[in-house]
Structure 1
Protein backbone atom coordinates (compact mmCIF):
# COMPACT_ATOMS: atom_id res chain seq x y z
CA UNK A 1 0.00 0.00 0.00
CA UNK A 2 1.09 3.53 -0.61
CA UNK A 3 0.53 4.41 3.04
CA UNK A 4 2.85 1.66 4.21
CA UNK A 5 5.65 2.47 1.80
CA UNK A 6 8.93 3.64 3.42
CA UNK A 7 9.09 6.47 0.94
CA UNK A 8 5.64 7.71 1.76
CA UNK A 9 5.73 11.25 3.09
CA UNK A 10 3.09 10.35 5.65
CA UNK A 11 5.31 7.82 7.38
CA UNK A 12 8.87 8.87 6.52
CA UNK A 13 10.69 10.63 9.39
CA UNK A 14 12.38 12.97 6.97
CA UNK A 15 9.11 14.17 5.49
CA UNK A 16 7.88 17.69 6.07
CA UNK A 17 5.61 17.59 9.15
CA UNK A 18 1.96 17.22 8.22
CA UNK A 19 -0.61 19.39 9.87
CA UNK A 20 -4.11 18.54 11.06
CA UNK A 21 -5.74 21.88 11.65
CA UNK A 22 -3.05 24.11 13.13
CA UNK A 23 -1.11 21.41 15.04
CA UNK A 24 1.81 19.60 13.32
CA UNK A 25 2.26 15.85 13.69
CA UNK A 26 4.90 15.13 16.30
CA UNK A 27 7.02 11.94 16.27
CA UNK A 28 4.56 10.49 18.77
CA UNK A 29 1.52 11.14 16.57
CA UNK A 30 3.15 10.51 13.20
CA UNK A 31 2.45 6.79 13.53
CA UNK A 32 -1.29 7.58 13.60
CA UNK A 33 -1.17 9.55 10.36
CA UNK A 34 -2.25 6.64 8.09
CA UNK A 35 -5.45 6.31 10.10
CA UNK A 36 -6.12 10.02 9.79
CA UNK A 37 -5.37 9.98 6.08
CA UNK A 38 -7.77 7.08 5.57
CA UNK A 39 -10.39 8.96 7.55
CA UNK A 40 -9.96 11.97 5.27
CA UNK A 41 -10.00 9.91 2.08
CA UNK A 42 -12.93 7.60 2.88
CA UNK A 43 -16.27 9.01 3.95
CA UNK A 44 -18.52 6.33 5.45
CA UNK A 45 -22.14 7.23 5.99
CA UNK A 46 -23.93 5.33 8.72
CA UNK A 47 -27.17 3.56 7.95
CA UNK A 48 -30.07 6.00 7.49
CA UNK A 49 -32.98 5.92 9.95
CA UNK A 50 -36.14 3.89 9.45
CA UNK A 51 -39.01 5.53 7.60
CA UNK A 52 -40.98 6.26 10.78
CA UNK A 53 -37.91 7.96 12.27
CA UNK A 54 -37.48 10.43 9.41
CA UNK A 55 -37.85 13.90 10.91
CA UNK A 56 -37.69 12.41 14.41
CA UNK A 57 -35.67 15.27 15.91
CA UNK A 58 -38.42 17.78 15.09
CA UNK A 59 -41.10 15.39 16.36
CA UNK A 60 -39.25 15.01 19.67
CA UNK A 61 -39.15 18.78 20.21
CA UNK A 62 -42.93 18.88 19.72
CA UNK A 63 -43.83 15.82 21.81
CA UNK A 64 -41.26 15.10 24.52
CA UNK A 65 -41.63 16.86 27.85
CA UNK A 66 -45.42 17.15 27.63
CA UNK A 67 -48.32 15.16 29.09
CA UNK A 68 -51.47 17.26 28.92
CA UNK A 69 -54.48 16.10 30.92
CA UNK A 70 -52.67 13.06 32.28
CA UNK A 71 -51.10 12.06 35.57
CA UNK A 72 -48.46 9.50 34.74
CA UNK A 73 -46.07 7.34 36.73
CA UNK A 74 -43.23 5.33 35.17
CA UNK A 75 -41.00 2.85 36.95
CA UNK A 76 -37.97 1.20 35.37
CA UNK A 77 -35.72 -1.28 37.14
CA UNK A 78 -32.99 -3.68 36.06
CA UNK A 79 -31.79 -6.74 37.95
CA UNK A 80 -28.21 -7.97 38.17
CA UNK A 81 -28.81 -10.72 35.62
CA UNK A 82 -29.98 -8.18 33.01
CA UNK A 83 -33.73 -8.60 33.43
CA UNK A 84 -35.51 -5.26 32.86
CA UNK A 85 -38.88 -4.33 34.33
CA UNK A 86 -40.94 -1.39 33.09
CA UNK A 87 -44.31 -0.49 34.60
CA UNK A 88 -46.48 2.46 33.62
CA UNK A 89 -49.62 3.88 35.16
CA UNK A 90 -51.67 6.84 34.00
CA UNK A 91 -54.93 8.57 34.88
CA UNK A 92 -56.84 10.83 32.51
CA UNK A 93 -57.94 13.94 34.39
CA UNK A 94 -60.99 14.43 32.13
CA UNK A 95 -62.40 10.91 31.91
CA UNK A 96 -60.86 9.58 35.15
CA UNK A 97 -59.87 6.47 33.21
CA UNK A 98 -56.90 4.64 34.71
CA UNK A 99 -54.60 2.54 32.55
CA UNK A 100 -51.45 0.59 33.28
CA UNK A 101 -48.95 -1.74 31.68
CA UNK A 102 -46.14 -4.05 32.71
CA UNK A 103 -43.22 -5.12 30.54
CA UNK A 104 -40.35 -7.49 31.25
CA UNK A 105 -37.37 -7.76 28.94
CA UNK A 106 -34.38 -10.06 28.96
CA UNK A 107 -31.42 -9.66 26.62
CA UNK A 108 -29.02 -12.44 25.73
CA UNK A 109 -26.33 -10.35 24.07
CA UNK A 110 -24.11 -13.35 23.34
CA UNK A 111 -26.70 -14.78 20.95
CA UNK A 112 -28.34 -11.49 19.89
CA UNK A 113 -31.67 -12.49 21.44
CA UNK A 114 -34.21 -10.33 23.26
CA UNK A 115 -37.30 -11.75 24.98
CA UNK A 116 -40.14 -9.40 25.94
CA UNK A 117 -43.40 -10.07 27.79
CA UNK A 118 -46.17 -7.44 27.98
CA UNK A 119 -49.44 -7.02 29.86
CA UNK A 120 -51.85 -4.10 30.20
CA UNK A 121 -55.02 -3.28 32.09
CA UNK A 122 -57.12 -4.16 29.03
CA UNK A 123 -55.96 -7.70 29.85
CA UNK A 124 -53.98 -8.06 26.63
CA UNK A 125 -50.94 -10.33 26.78
CA UNK A 126 -48.02 -9.95 24.40
CA UNK A 127 -44.84 -11.85 23.64
CA UNK A 128 -41.97 -10.65 21.49
CA UNK A 129 -38.78 -12.42 20.42
CA UNK A 130 -36.06 -10.53 18.57
CA UNK A 131 -32.96 -11.89 16.83
CA UNK A 132 -30.41 -9.30 15.71
CA UNK A 133 -27.11 -9.53 13.79
CA UNK A 134 -27.06 -13.33 13.87
CA UNK A 135 -28.18 -14.52 10.44
CA UNK A 136 -26.50 -11.53 8.79
CA UNK A 137 -24.89 -8.31 9.92
CA UNK A 138 -27.55 -5.61 10.13
CA UNK A 139 -30.48 -8.04 9.90
CA UNK A 140 -33.12 -7.96 12.64
CA UNK A 141 -36.01 -10.43 12.92
CA UNK A 142 -38.90 -9.98 15.35
CA UNK A 143 -41.76 -12.35 16.15
CA UNK A 144 -44.58 -10.56 17.96
CA UNK A 145 -47.87 -12.03 19.18
CA UNK A 146 -50.74 -10.80 21.34
CA UNK A 147 -53.80 -12.41 22.90
CA UNK A 148 -56.80 -11.00 24.74
CA UNK A 149 -58.49 -13.64 26.97
CA UNK A 150 -61.58 -11.46 27.40
CA UNK A 151 -62.40 -11.20 23.70
CA UNK A 152 -60.41 -14.10 22.32
CA UNK A 153 -58.74 -11.77 19.84
CA UNK A 154 -55.36 -12.95 18.57
CA UNK A 155 -52.79 -11.28 16.37
CA UNK A 156 -49.29 -11.97 15.18
CA UNK A 157 -46.54 -10.05 13.44
CA UNK A 158 -43.34 -11.05 11.71
CA UNK A 159 -41.02 -8.07 11.37
CA UNK A 160 -37.83 -7.93 9.35
CA UNK A 161 -35.40 -5.03 9.20
CA UNK A 162 -32.08 -4.69 7.45
CA UNK A 163 -29.68 -1.77 7.52
CA UNK A 164 -26.25 -1.04 6.12
CA UNK A 165 -24.42 1.98 4.77
CA UNK A 166 -26.86 4.18 2.82
CA UNK A 167 -29.82 1.74 3.08
CA UNK A 168 -32.51 0.88 5.64
CA UNK A 169 -35.18 -1.66 4.68
CA UNK A 170 -38.18 -3.03 6.57
CA UNK A 171 -40.96 -5.50 5.89
CA UNK A 172 -43.66 -6.52 8.38
CA UNK A 173 -46.41 -9.10 7.96
CA UNK A 174 -49.44 -8.70 10.27
CA UNK A 175 -51.96 -11.45 10.94
CA UNK A 176 -55.27 -10.72 12.72
CA UNK A 177 -59.01 -11.25 12.38
CA UNK A 178 -59.15 -8.62 9.63
CA UNK A 179 -56.79 -10.60 7.44
CA UNK A 180 -53.17 -10.32 6.41
CA UNK A 181 -51.43 -7.02 5.80
CA UNK A 182 -47.91 -6.49 4.49
CA UNK A 183 -46.09 -3.28 5.40
CA UNK A 184 -42.93 -2.33 3.54
CA UNK A 185 -40.56 0.61 3.84
CA UNK A 186 -37.23 1.64 2.38
CA UNK A 187 -34.93 4.58 3.07
CA UNK A 188 -31.78 5.48 1.17
CA UNK A 189 -29.25 8.11 2.17
CA UNK A 190 -26.29 9.79 0.53
CA UNK A 191 -24.19 12.66 1.89
CA UNK A 192 -26.97 13.79 4.22
CA UNK A 193 -29.80 13.48 1.70
CA UNK A 194 -32.56 11.00 2.57
CA UNK A 195 -35.42 9.55 0.54
CA UNK A 196 -37.96 7.00 1.72
CA UNK A 197 -41.05 5.12 0.63
CA UNK A 198 -43.66 3.32 2.74
CA UNK A 199 -46.51 1.13 1.56
CA UNK A 200 -49.17 -1.26 2.88
CA UNK A 201 -50.75 -4.11 0.95
CA UNK A 202 -53.87 -5.82 2.32
CA UNK A 203 -54.12 -9.36 1.00
CA UNK A 204 -57.81 -9.72 1.83
CA UNK A 205 -58.72 -6.69 -0.28
CA UNK A 206 -55.98 -7.36 -2.83
CA UNK A 207 -55.00 -3.72 -2.99
CA UNK A 208 -52.46 -1.20 -1.77
CA UNK A 209 -54.05 0.85 1.00
CA UNK A 210 -51.13 3.11 1.86
CA UNK A 211 -48.49 4.82 -0.24
CA UNK A 212 -46.25 7.41 1.42
CA UNK A 213 -43.14 9.19 0.20
CA UNK A 214 -40.62 11.35 2.04
CA UNK A 215 -37.51 13.38 1.22
CA UNK A 216 -35.18 15.10 3.64
CA UNK A 217 -31.74 16.42 4.45
CA UNK A 218 -29.92 15.78 7.71
CA UNK A 219 -26.83 17.06 9.48
CA UNK A 220 -25.88 17.08 13.16
CA UNK A 221 -27.40 20.52 13.70
CA UNK A 222 -30.02 20.86 10.96
CA UNK A 223 -32.74 18.61 9.56
CA UNK A 224 -35.30 19.15 6.82
CA UNK A 225 -38.13 16.67 6.25
CA UNK A 226 -41.00 16.64 3.75
CA UNK A 227 -43.58 13.93 3.15
CA UNK A 228 -46.62 13.09 1.04
CA UNK A 229 -49.16 10.54 2.33
CA UNK A 230 -51.43 8.84 -0.21
CA UNK A 231 -51.07 11.82 -2.51
CA UNK A 232 -53.49 13.89 -0.42
CA UNK A 233 -51.71 14.79 2.82
CA UNK A 234 -48.62 16.97 2.69
CA UNK A 235 -46.28 17.82 5.52
CA UNK A 236 -42.88 19.22 6.34
CA UNK A 237 -40.68 19.99 9.32
CA UNK A 238 -37.44 21.80 10.07
CA UNK A 239 -35.19 21.10 13.05
CA UNK A 240 -32.38 23.42 14.12
CA UNK A 241 -29.95 22.93 17.00
CA UNK A 242 -29.02 26.52 17.70
CA UNK A 243 -26.46 25.67 20.37
CA UNK A 244 -25.85 23.12 23.11
CA UNK A 245 -28.78 24.48 25.14
CA UNK A 246 -31.40 25.45 22.55
CA UNK A 247 -33.29 23.32 20.00
CA UNK A 248 -36.04 24.63 17.74
CA UNK A 249 -38.51 23.04 15.33
CA UNK A 250 -41.20 24.07 12.86
CA UNK A 251 -43.84 21.86 11.27
CA UNK A 252 -46.37 22.43 8.53
CA UNK A 253 -49.18 20.22 7.21
CA UNK A 254 -52.19 20.47 4.92
CA UNK A 255 -54.65 18.24 3.08
CA UNK A 256 -55.53 18.46 -0.60
CA UNK A 257 -58.95 20.02 -1.11
CA UNK A 258 -58.85 21.69 2.30
CA UNK A 259 -57.65 25.26 2.72
CA UNK A 260 -56.92 24.75 6.42
CA UNK A 261 -53.15 24.69 6.94
CA UNK A 262 -51.75 23.40 10.23
CA UNK A 263 -48.65 25.19 11.48
CA UNK A 264 -46.63 25.02 14.67
CA UNK A 265 -43.35 26.11 16.21
CA UNK A 266 -41.60 24.62 19.23
CA UNK A 267 -38.44 25.04 21.26
CA UNK A 268 -36.60 23.25 24.03
CA UNK A 269 -34.09 24.99 26.29
CA UNK A 270 -31.71 23.00 28.48
CA UNK A 271 -31.40 25.18 31.56
CA UNK A 272 -28.70 23.01 33.11
CA UNK A 273 -27.79 19.34 33.32
CA UNK A 274 -30.86 18.60 35.45
CA UNK A 275 -33.58 20.89 34.11
CA UNK A 276 -35.14 21.80 30.77
CA UNK A 277 -38.02 23.98 29.59
CA UNK A 278 -40.17 23.35 26.50
CA UNK A 279 -42.72 25.52 24.73
CA UNK A 280 -44.80 25.23 21.57
CA UNK A 281 -47.67 27.01 19.84
CA UNK A 282 -49.80 26.27 16.78
CA UNK A 283 -52.03 28.25 14.43
CA UNK A 284 -55.07 27.40 16.60
CA UNK A 285 -53.50 29.49 19.40
CA UNK A 286 -52.94 26.43 21.58
CA UNK A 287 -49.89 27.03 23.75
CA UNK A 288 -48.04 24.13 25.35
CA UNK A 289 -45.55 24.53 28.19
CA UNK A 290 -43.41 21.88 29.82
CA UNK A 291 -40.80 21.74 32.55
CA UNK A 292 -38.65 18.72 33.35
CA UNK A 293 -36.48 18.47 36.45
CA UNK A 294 -34.21 15.66 37.59
CA UNK A 295 -34.81 15.67 41.34
CA UNK A 296 -32.01 13.19 41.98
CA UNK A 297 -30.31 10.47 39.95
CA UNK A 298 -33.05 8.15 38.71
CA UNK A 299 -35.99 10.42 39.62
CA UNK A 300 -37.44 12.82 37.03
CA UNK A 301 -40.42 15.16 37.38
CA UNK A 302 -42.36 16.60 34.43
CA UNK A 303 -44.94 19.39 34.67
CA UNK A 304 -46.91 20.54 31.64
CA UNK A 305 -49.82 22.78 30.69
CA UNK A 306 -51.90 23.33 27.56
CA UNK A 307 -53.46 26.79 27.30
CA UNK A 308 -56.11 27.97 24.87
CA UNK A 309 -54.76 31.32 23.73
CA UNK A 310 -58.13 32.41 22.35
CA UNK A 311 -59.92 31.80 25.65
CA UNK A 312 -57.40 32.45 28.39
CA UNK A 313 -60.06 33.52 30.90
CA UNK A 314 -62.63 30.89 29.94
CA UNK A 315 -60.87 27.95 31.54
CA UNK A 316 -60.71 24.49 30.03
CA UNK A 317 -56.94 24.44 30.11
CA UNK A 318 -55.17 21.13 30.67
CA UNK A 319 -52.46 20.31 33.20
CA UNK A 320 -50.19 17.30 33.32
CA UNK A 321 -47.92 15.64 35.85
CA UNK A 322 -45.36 12.94 35.22
CA UNK A 323 -42.99 11.16 37.57
CA UNK A 324 -40.34 8.71 36.40
CA UNK A 325 -38.27 6.40 38.59
CA UNK A 326 -35.32 4.46 37.23
CA UNK A 327 -33.05 2.14 39.17
Structure 2
Protein backbone atom coordinates (compact mmCIF):
# COMPACT_ATOMS: atom_id res chain seq x y z
CA UNK A 1 0.00 0.00 0.00
CA UNK A 2 1.03 3.58 -0.63
CA UNK A 3 1.62 5.84 2.38
CA UNK A 4 -1.22 8.25 3.24
CA UNK A 5 -1.43 11.80 1.93
CA UNK A 6 0.05 14.42 4.23
CA UNK A 7 -3.22 15.62 5.80
CA UNK A 8 -4.01 12.03 6.92
CA UNK A 9 -0.82 11.66 8.98
CA UNK A 10 -1.71 11.31 12.67
CA UNK A 11 -5.40 10.84 11.81
CA UNK A 12 -5.96 7.90 14.19
CA UNK A 13 -5.11 9.96 17.28
CA UNK A 14 -6.90 13.04 15.90
CA UNK A 15 -10.14 11.10 15.42
CA UNK A 16 -10.22 10.16 19.10
CA UNK A 17 -10.79 13.84 19.91
CA UNK A 18 -13.15 14.78 17.06
CA UNK A 19 -15.21 11.88 15.74
CA UNK A 20 -18.36 11.09 17.69
CA UNK A 21 -18.59 14.41 19.55
CA UNK A 22 -21.24 16.96 18.50
CA UNK A 23 -21.63 19.30 21.52
CA UNK A 24 -24.51 21.75 21.34
CA UNK A 25 -26.06 20.05 18.29
CA UNK A 26 -28.95 17.84 17.36
CA UNK A 27 -27.59 15.93 14.37
CA UNK A 28 -29.29 13.70 11.78
CA UNK A 29 -27.55 11.82 8.96
CA UNK A 30 -29.21 9.70 6.28
CA UNK A 31 -27.41 7.67 3.63
CA UNK A 32 -28.95 5.55 0.91
CA UNK A 33 -28.03 3.91 -2.39
CA UNK A 34 -30.56 3.77 -5.21
CA UNK A 35 -31.01 0.83 -7.59
CA UNK A 36 -29.34 2.90 -10.34
CA UNK A 37 -26.16 3.30 -8.26
CA UNK A 38 -26.62 6.91 -7.08
CA UNK A 39 -25.61 7.44 -3.47
CA UNK A 40 -27.50 10.12 -1.51
CA UNK A 41 -26.25 11.57 1.77
CA UNK A 42 -28.36 14.03 3.76
CA UNK A 43 -27.29 15.69 6.99
CA UNK A 44 -29.01 18.19 9.28
CA UNK A 45 -27.84 20.11 12.33
CA UNK A 46 -29.82 22.13 14.88
CA UNK A 47 -27.76 24.47 17.07
CA UNK A 48 -29.15 24.42 20.60
CA UNK A 49 -27.70 27.83 21.53
CA UNK A 50 -28.50 29.85 18.40
CA UNK A 51 -31.68 27.94 17.44
CA UNK A 52 -30.26 27.71 13.93
CA UNK A 53 -30.99 24.79 11.63
CA UNK A 54 -28.57 23.83 8.84
CA UNK A 55 -28.62 21.00 6.36
CA UNK A 56 -27.02 19.63 3.22
CA UNK A 57 -27.85 17.20 0.43
CA UNK A 58 -25.14 15.31 -1.45
CA UNK A 59 -25.38 12.91 -4.38
CA UNK A 60 -22.58 10.72 -5.71
CA UNK A 61 -22.45 8.54 -8.81
CA UNK A 62 -19.57 6.29 -9.89
CA UNK A 63 -18.91 5.23 -13.48
CA UNK A 64 -16.89 2.06 -12.87
CA UNK A 65 -15.71 1.54 -16.45
CA UNK A 66 -13.92 4.88 -16.49
CA UNK A 67 -13.02 5.14 -12.80
CA UNK A 68 -14.94 8.43 -12.58
CA UNK A 69 -16.94 9.61 -9.55
CA UNK A 70 -19.29 12.59 -9.83
CA UNK A 71 -20.28 14.42 -6.63
CA UNK A 72 -22.58 17.38 -6.10
CA UNK A 73 -23.69 19.06 -2.89
CA UNK A 74 -26.09 21.80 -1.80
CA UNK A 75 -26.68 23.21 1.68
CA UNK A 76 -29.17 25.52 3.34
CA UNK A 77 -26.74 28.45 3.08
CA UNK A 78 -27.17 28.06 -0.70
CA UNK A 79 -23.61 26.85 -1.28
CA UNK A 80 -23.33 24.82 -4.50
CA UNK A 81 -20.45 22.36 -4.84
CA UNK A 82 -19.39 19.94 -7.56
CA UNK A 83 -16.51 17.48 -7.95
CA UNK A 84 -15.20 15.16 -10.67
CA UNK A 85 -12.72 12.49 -9.55
CA UNK A 86 -10.86 10.00 -11.74
CA UNK A 87 -8.90 7.22 -10.08
CA UNK A 88 -6.47 4.50 -11.22
CA UNK A 89 -7.44 4.37 -14.92
CA UNK A 90 -4.75 6.61 -16.46
CA UNK A 91 -1.95 5.21 -14.28
CA UNK A 92 -1.70 2.95 -11.27
CA UNK A 93 -1.98 4.95 -8.05
CA UNK A 94 -2.97 8.20 -9.84
CA UNK A 95 -5.99 10.24 -8.71
CA UNK A 96 -7.18 13.41 -10.47
CA UNK A 97 -9.77 15.78 -8.97
CA UNK A 98 -11.48 18.92 -10.25
CA UNK A 99 -13.89 20.69 -7.92
CA UNK A 100 -15.63 24.05 -7.64
CA UNK A 101 -18.11 25.80 -5.36
CA UNK A 102 -20.13 29.01 -5.54
CA UNK A 103 -22.42 30.89 -3.19
CA UNK A 104 -24.77 33.00 -5.36
CA UNK A 105 -25.88 35.26 -2.51
CA UNK A 106 -22.35 36.52 -1.76
CA UNK A 107 -20.70 35.75 -5.10
CA UNK A 108 -17.87 33.86 -3.38
CA UNK A 109 -16.23 31.25 -5.62
CA UNK A 110 -13.68 28.54 -5.00
CA UNK A 111 -12.08 26.05 -7.38
CA UNK A 112 -9.34 23.43 -7.20
CA UNK A 113 -7.39 21.06 -9.46
CA UNK A 114 -5.58 18.24 -7.69
CA UNK A 115 -3.32 15.37 -8.74
CA UNK A 116 -2.16 12.66 -6.35
CA UNK A 117 0.20 9.79 -7.10
CA UNK A 118 0.65 7.06 -4.51
CA UNK A 119 3.22 4.27 -4.84
CA UNK A 120 4.65 1.74 -2.41
CA UNK A 121 7.24 4.10 -0.87
CA UNK A 122 5.86 7.59 -1.52
CA UNK A 123 2.78 9.73 -2.01
CA UNK A 124 3.07 13.04 -3.86
CA UNK A 125 0.26 15.55 -4.23
CA UNK A 126 0.00 18.81 -6.20
CA UNK A 127 -2.81 21.33 -6.09
CA UNK A 128 -3.70 24.73 -7.60
CA UNK A 129 -6.84 26.67 -6.94
CA UNK A 130 -8.81 29.73 -5.92
CA UNK A 131 -9.96 30.25 -2.34
CA UNK A 132 -12.52 33.09 -2.24
CA UNK A 133 -10.72 34.76 -5.11
CA UNK A 134 -7.21 34.28 -3.70
CA UNK A 135 -5.09 32.01 -5.98
CA UNK A 136 -2.87 29.46 -4.26
CA UNK A 137 -0.43 26.67 -5.05
CA UNK A 138 0.05 23.73 -2.72
CA UNK A 139 1.89 20.45 -2.64
CA UNK A 140 2.96 17.68 -0.30
CA UNK A 141 5.24 14.65 -0.22
CA UNK A 142 5.14 11.67 2.13
CA UNK A 143 7.92 9.05 2.15
CA UNK A 144 7.79 5.66 3.88
CA UNK A 145 10.57 3.27 4.86
CA UNK A 146 9.37 0.19 6.72
CA UNK A 147 7.46 1.60 9.74
CA UNK A 148 8.88 5.14 9.46
CA UNK A 149 7.09 8.04 7.75
CA UNK A 150 8.31 11.52 6.81
CA UNK A 151 6.39 14.29 5.10
CA UNK A 152 6.46 17.91 3.99
CA UNK A 153 3.68 20.24 2.87
CA UNK A 154 3.65 23.81 1.47
CA UNK A 155 0.79 26.17 0.67
CA UNK A 156 1.43 29.55 -1.00
CA UNK A 157 -1.29 32.18 -1.51
CA UNK A 158 -0.05 34.31 -4.40
CA UNK A 159 -2.00 37.54 -3.89
CA UNK A 160 -1.41 37.79 -0.12
CA UNK A 161 2.09 36.24 -0.44
CA UNK A 162 1.32 34.05 2.54
CA UNK A 163 3.47 30.90 2.75
CA UNK A 164 2.69 28.07 5.13
CA UNK A 165 4.94 25.05 5.42
CA UNK A 166 4.78 21.90 7.52
CA UNK A 167 7.19 19.08 8.33
CA UNK A 168 6.22 15.76 9.89
CA UNK A 169 7.87 12.59 11.15
CA UNK A 170 6.14 9.45 12.28
CA UNK A 171 6.32 5.79 13.19
CA UNK A 172 3.50 3.30 12.74
CA UNK A 173 2.87 -0.41 13.24
CA UNK A 174 -0.20 -2.58 13.84
CA UNK A 175 -0.68 -1.33 17.41
CA UNK A 176 0.77 2.21 17.63
CA UNK A 177 1.20 5.37 15.62
CA UNK A 178 3.52 8.20 16.67
CA UNK A 179 3.25 11.53 14.84
CA UNK A 180 5.18 14.81 15.22
CA UNK A 181 4.61 17.97 13.18
CA UNK A 182 6.17 21.44 12.92
CA UNK A 183 4.27 24.36 11.33
CA UNK A 184 6.15 27.47 10.11
CA UNK A 185 8.74 26.98 12.89
CA UNK A 186 6.09 28.34 15.31
CA UNK A 187 3.35 25.77 15.88
CA UNK A 188 3.97 22.13 16.72
CA UNK A 189 2.08 18.95 17.55
CA UNK A 190 2.98 15.50 18.90
CA UNK A 191 0.44 12.69 19.07
CA UNK A 192 0.44 9.02 20.00
CA UNK A 193 -2.25 6.45 19.18
CA UNK A 194 -2.17 2.96 20.70
CA UNK A 195 -4.54 0.05 20.10
CA UNK A 196 -4.25 -1.91 23.34
CA UNK A 197 -6.59 -4.68 22.15
CA UNK A 198 -9.68 -5.23 20.02
CA UNK A 199 -11.81 -3.27 22.51
CA UNK A 200 -9.63 -0.43 23.77
CA UNK A 201 -7.95 2.46 21.89
CA UNK A 202 -6.14 5.34 23.60
CA UNK A 203 -4.38 8.45 22.32
CA UNK A 204 -2.49 11.52 23.53
CA UNK A 205 -2.03 14.89 21.83
CA UNK A 206 0.19 17.75 22.97
CA UNK A 207 0.94 20.84 20.93
CA UNK A 208 1.06 24.60 20.55
CA UNK A 209 -0.90 26.16 17.63
CA UNK A 210 0.46 29.09 15.67
CA UNK A 211 -0.30 32.61 16.86
CA UNK A 212 -3.56 34.11 15.60
CA UNK A 213 -4.28 37.60 14.29
CA UNK A 214 -6.98 39.72 15.96
CA UNK A 215 -9.21 42.35 14.32
CA UNK A 216 -6.53 45.02 14.84
CA UNK A 217 -3.97 42.95 12.95
CA UNK A 218 -1.98 42.14 16.08
CA UNK A 219 -0.41 38.74 16.70
CA UNK A 220 -1.98 36.93 19.64
CA UNK A 221 0.16 34.09 21.07
CA UNK A 222 -1.61 30.76 21.53
CA UNK A 223 -1.51 28.49 24.56
CA UNK A 224 -0.23 24.95 24.48
CA UNK A 225 -2.77 22.11 24.53
CA UNK A 226 -2.71 18.65 26.08
CA UNK A 227 -5.40 16.02 25.59
CA UNK A 228 -5.99 12.36 26.37
CA UNK A 229 -8.72 10.41 24.57
CA UNK A 230 -10.00 6.84 24.45
CA UNK A 231 -12.57 4.50 22.94
CA UNK A 232 -13.84 1.35 24.66
CA UNK A 233 -15.99 -1.05 22.62
CA UNK A 234 -18.73 -2.82 24.52
CA UNK A 235 -20.66 -5.95 23.61
CA UNK A 236 -23.63 -5.54 21.30
CA UNK A 237 -22.30 -2.96 18.81
CA UNK A 238 -21.85 -0.22 21.42
CA UNK A 239 -18.88 1.91 22.40
CA UNK A 240 -17.90 4.55 24.94
CA UNK A 241 -15.78 7.62 24.18
CA UNK A 242 -13.96 9.86 26.67
CA UNK A 243 -11.46 12.71 26.45
CA UNK A 244 -10.01 15.39 28.72
CA UNK A 245 -7.64 18.30 28.12
CA UNK A 246 -5.43 20.63 30.16
CA UNK A 247 -8.36 23.09 30.51
CA UNK A 248 -10.17 20.33 32.44
CA UNK A 249 -12.84 20.03 29.75
CA UNK A 250 -14.22 16.50 29.96
CA UNK A 251 -15.85 14.91 26.93
CA UNK A 252 -18.01 11.80 27.21
CA UNK A 253 -19.86 9.91 24.50
CA UNK A 254 -21.91 6.78 23.99
CA UNK A 255 -22.75 5.17 20.64
CA UNK A 256 -25.17 2.30 20.10
CA UNK A 257 -26.11 0.43 16.93
CA UNK A 258 -29.82 -0.20 17.46
CA UNK A 259 -30.24 -2.38 14.38
CA UNK A 260 -28.71 -2.72 10.94
CA UNK A 261 -28.53 0.80 9.46
CA UNK A 262 -29.60 2.71 12.60
CA UNK A 263 -27.01 4.15 14.99
CA UNK A 264 -27.62 6.65 17.78
CA UNK A 265 -24.99 8.58 19.73
CA UNK A 266 -25.04 11.02 22.64
CA UNK A 267 -22.14 13.16 23.82
CA UNK A 268 -21.39 15.94 26.26
CA UNK A 269 -18.57 18.38 27.02
CA UNK A 270 -18.32 19.35 30.71
CA UNK A 271 -16.43 22.38 32.04
CA UNK A 272 -14.96 20.75 35.15
CA UNK A 273 -13.37 24.01 36.34
CA UNK A 274 -16.84 25.39 36.96
CA UNK A 275 -19.28 22.53 37.47
CA UNK A 276 -22.21 24.65 38.71
CA UNK A 277 -22.10 27.52 36.19
CA UNK A 278 -19.79 26.19 33.49
CA UNK A 279 -20.50 26.15 29.77
CA UNK A 280 -21.60 22.53 29.56
CA UNK A 281 -22.78 21.24 26.19
CA UNK A 282 -24.83 18.22 25.19
CA UNK A 283 -25.48 16.68 21.78
CA UNK A 284 -27.46 13.89 20.15
CA UNK A 285 -26.81 12.24 16.79
CA UNK A 286 -28.85 9.78 14.73
CA UNK A 287 -27.44 8.01 11.67
CA UNK A 288 -29.65 6.12 9.20
CA UNK A 289 -28.34 3.99 6.34
CA UNK A 290 -30.14 1.76 3.90
Instruction: Show the counterpart of 1:140.
Output: 95
The alpha-carbon distance between structure 1 residues 149 and 56, as it changes in their structure 2 partners (threshold 3 A), is same
Shift of residue 270, structure 1, vs aligned partner = 0.3
Q: Is the 8 A contact 1:50 1:169 kept in 2?
A: yes
- Which stretch shows the higher mean deviation, 302-311 or 168-177? 168-177
Flag structure 2 segments of 5+ consecutive residues without an equivalent. Answer: 212-220
Match of 1:320 among 255, 263, 283: 283
Structure 2: distance between partners of 1:284 and 1:176: 34
Which of the two has greater strand per residue? 2
Q: Is the 8 A contact 1:199 1:208 kept in 2?
A: no
- State the SS of the aligned residue for 1:292: strand
Instruction: Show the counterpart of 1:281.
Output: 244
Shift of residue 109, structure 1, vs aligned partner = 1.4
Match of 1:54 among 1, 4, 9: 9
Q: Which runs of 4+ in 1 moved over 4 A?
A: 255-259
Structure ID, larger Rg: 1
Flag structure 1 segments of 5+ consecutive residues without an equivalent. Answer: 1-45
After superposition, the CA RMSD in angstroms is 1.5
Shift of residue 263, structure 1, vs aligned partner = 0.5
Matched, 1:155 2:118: no
The alpha-carbon distance between structure 1 residues 255 and 53, as it changes in their structure 2 partners (threshold 3 A), is closer
- What TM-score does the superposition give when structure 2 sets the normalisation length? 0.93
Shift of residue 66, structure 1, vs aligned partner = 1.1
Which of the two has greater helix per residue? 1
Q: How many residues align?
A: 281
Structure 1: distance between partners of 2:193 and 2:21: 18
Q: Is the 8 A contact 1:70 1:321 kept in 2?
A: yes
Instruction: Show the counterpart of 1:114.
Output: 69
Structure 2: distance between partners of 1:216 and 1:241: 16
Matches within 5 A, 1:1-327: 46-205=1-160, 207=161, 209-254=163-208, 260-327=223-290
The alpha-carbon distance between structure 1 residues 298 and 155, as it changes in their structure 2 partners (threshold 3 A), is same
- What TM-score does the superposition give when structure 1 sets the normalisation length? 0.83
